Structure 1
């Protein structure tokens, strides 16, 4: 096996910045008790002004009074690590997020599908950049070695065990991610590298540092198997954005909505599934307001889902300030993409009918979009009805077999003017409507006029002439 480790050096900060409308503003994460508040992480703008991790809050305010402060949330950091584990699951079936700030995935099995390691690595970096997370990546035959190398040198890759052992032997013990404080203690004892450490007697190391250090070294070098906690994706999606201020307009909610929908689309691609119903929850200081979003078929395109969610959101009334936006999707059915021809003649800017239908329903409302359904009435003016686009197809009565009907049916029959037409086919006798007071008895013909047009005309039963025009054929 070959394991890729993705180290996320500023996971908590990146999770906040990716949801800020202006991430270039100076921003810092704060932590600690009220009397000893300090900075946990700062963005590039804050660092340029002199702020740094570990600085006390009063000193930070003295240097940069208008810095944006965000409370560090360890639970949110864990949720984002699980989200990235779910993202990594789309590239490998063996993913682990057991170490804070790091994701490991088995990469060799994906080479045949995604290409050799340089191509695979470039794909991982491109997607992480699009998601907004800074990262360091390394490849090694064991997951712990990949984790160590990612912390030392971004982009380092070793594929053979002998080369891995040689590289590990030069790693400083303080950078080897040893259990507890073993790295610092060994350094004070004069043990500088892993090569020197492995040459020491194991009995003495066990007495001084316990069996955890020996087990870590064995798993690091691949001498024993490393039982990782394998990630399994959940069967629902639940994400929340806490707004920095009270929002009272739809426009201000579009940025966090786009982020949430983008994360939903990423999650759906991981599961190779779609979503048919999800919920937008507008949270207020007290209570919340739900905006349901429903589709007629499962979809997972981020652009389409955002358009539908925006249409539904703009129809909802915001009667109280919104302090947080939440997206919940509990029904995640399988996704079956629409089939397309290899040489599709459709223009590049054309929108497929399912997407256009959903956009119209989101913009105009569910009751504004209909389709035509046949009825069993033989009278042409009563032969169809408006049906809802979400009406079950089994409930729609199919049209009985009939002779050809014109594509253009006139609202009301009118006399056919001009010379007598030539009869092409007919008659077709229709007798119906006696039960509803609209008794109709007609003989229909397909005729050709003097101008070469094909028309659908009728006359009283058994008669010809005095034609009444009812439609035109294309």
Structure 2
């Protein structure tokens, strides 16, 4: 096996910056008790202003009073790591997030799909850049070795166990991820590299540093199995973004909404699934407003889902300021993409019907787009019925004479003294059981202006023409 380690040196900061409309503005994560607040991490523009991690908040505000502050939350950092584990799962079936700030995945089995490592690695980096996470990547025959090498040099790749052992022997003990403070203690004792450490008697090392150091070395060099907890994708999606300020308009919610929709589609592609219904929750200081987003069939196109969600959101009145936005999808059904011909010709500005349908429903409402199915009643105004969902199959229409494409809501007098009968009569007698009895003779006629119309008279008569529809 070959293991790739993705080291995330600024995971907590990147998790915050990726949901900021202006990530280049000075920003710092703040931690510590109220009396001893300090900076946990700073972005590049804040560092250029003289701020640094570990600095007291009072000193930082005196140095640069205009930077934005966000409370550091370890739970949000863990959520971001789980999200990246889900993203990595689309590239490998063996993914682990056992170590904070790092993702490891088995890469050799993925070479047949994504190409060799020189092609696979740029793909990982490109997707991580698009997601907004800075990273360091290394490749090695064991997951622990990949983790250690990623901390030493970005892009380090070693594929053979013998070469890996020679490289690891030169690694400083302080940078070998040894348990607890064993690396610092060994450094002060004059044991500076892993090669020197491995040359010491095992009993002596175990007695002075515990069995954990020897176990780590064996797993690091591939001399023992390394049982890691493997990631399994969840059956639902739940994401939440705190705004950091009160939002009173829809426009300010579109940026975090787009980011959340993108994360949702990433999770869907991992599971090879789609989403048919999800919930947007606008959280206020007291209570929340729920926006339900439903589709007729499972989808996972980011542009489509964002357009539908935005249309539903814009129809909701934001009566109170919004302090957080949450997206929750309780069910992720399988996604079956629409089949297309290999040489299908479609206009550049064209749009597949499922996407157009969902956009119309999002803009006009759920009841504005529906299907028609034939009914068993021969009366024209009752010869069809409405179907709102996708599940019901549309039955085949019974064989009938020509029907107009435009049926008028109500028949109206046809005032034309020169009409030509083209087809008919077709007698319709029905409705005696519901009190709306009709006895009509229908004709296809041509008016004096050359229009083809569908008109009727009372049964057995040839006057009192009533217009009921137009043919195209």
TM-score relative to the length of structure 2? 0.91
Give the aligned partner of residue 209 of structure 1: 209
C-alpha offsets along residues 84-129 of structure 1, whole Å, 9 cap, x if unaligned? 1111111111000000000000011111111111221111111111
| Residues 136 and 150, structure 1, Cα contact 8 Å, conserved in 2 | yes
Give the aligned partner of residue 123 of structure 1: 123
SS of match in other structure, 1:372? strand
Q: Distance in 2 between matches of 1:419 and 1:29?
A: 82
Give the aligned partner of residue 322 of structure 2: 322
Q: Distance in 2 between matches of 1:461 and 1:333?
A: 55
* Equivalences for residues 304-453 of structure 1 within 5 A: 304-385=304-385, 387-390=386-389, 393=392, 399-409=397-407, 412=411, 414=414, 428-436=426-434, 438-442=436-440
| Residues 296 and 390, structure 2, Cα contact 8 Å, conserved in 1 | no
Which consecutive residues of structure 2, in runs of 5 or more, have no partner in the other structure? none
Give the aligned partner of residue 53 of structure 2: 53
Give the aligned partner of residue 227 of structure 1: 227
Give the aligned partner of residue 249 of structure 2: 249
Q: Distance in 2 between matches of 1:273 and 1:39?
A: 41
How has the CA–CA distance of structure 1 residues 323 and 466 changed in structure 2, closer, same or farther, with 3 Å as cutoff?
closer
SS of match in other structure, 2:41? strand
Q: CA deviation at 1:241?
A: 0.7
Q: CA deviation at 1:462?
A: 7.3
Matched, 1:269 2:234: no
| Residues 291 and 316, structure 2, Cα contact 8 Å, conserved in 1 | yes
How has the CA–CA distance of structure 1 residues 35 and 463 changed in structure 2, closer, same or farther, with 3 Å as cutoff?
closer
187-196 or 367-376, which deviates more: 367-376
C-alpha offsets along residues 402-460 of structure 1, whole Å, 9 cap, x if unaligned? 2443434466473776585666xx66443223345554445556689999987766677
SS of match in other structure, 1:266? helix
Q: Distance in 2 between matches of 1:345 and 1:418?
A: 46
Q: Distance in 1 between matches of 2:276 and 2:373?
A: 24
Q: CA deviation at 1:249?
A: 1.4
Q: CA deviation at 1:367?
A: 2.8
| Residues 444 and 458, structure 1, Cα contact 8 Å, conserved in 2 | yes
Tell me the C-alpha RMSD between the 2 structures. Answer: 2.7
Q: Distance in 2 between matches of 1:72 and 1:313?
A: 30
* Equivalences for residues 113-152 of structure 1 within 5 A: 113-152=113-152
Q: CA deviation at 1:388?
A: 4.8
Q: CA deviation at 1:34?
A: 2.2
Q: CA deviation at 1:21?
A: 1.2
| Residues 28 and 40, structure 2, Cα contact 8 Å, conserved in 1 | yes
| Residues 416 and 468, structure 1, Cα contact 8 Å, conserved in 2 | no
Give the aligned partner of residue 16 of structure 1: 16
Q: Distance in 1 between matches of 2:362 and 2:53?
A: 46
429-438 or 212-221, which deviates more: 429-438
Which consecutive residues of structure 1, in runs of 5 or more, have no partner in the other structure? none
Q: Distance in 2 between matches of 1:422 and 1:290?
A: 57
Q: CA deviation at 1:365?
A: 2.0
How has the CA–CA distance of structure 1 residues 247 and 142 changed in structure 2, closer, same or farther, with 3 Å as cutoff?
same
How has the CA–CA distance of structure 1 residues 465 and 66 changed in structure 2, closer, same or farther, with 3 Å as cutoff?
closer
TM-score relative to the length of structure 1? 0.91
Q: Distance in 2 between matches of 1:154 and 1:431?
A: 83
Number of aligned residue pairs: give it: 470
Q: Distance in 2 between matches of 1:417 and 1:156?
A: 91
How has the CA–CA distance of structure 1 residues 417 and 154 changed in structure 2, closer, same or farther, with 3 Å as cutoff?
farther
Give the aligned partner of residue 67 of structure 2: 67
Q: Distance in 2 between matches of 1:91 and 1:98?
A: 18
How has the CA–CA distance of structure 1 residues 468 and 311 changed in structure 2, closer, same or farther, with 3 Å as cutoff?
closer
313-322 or 83-92, which deviates more: 313-322
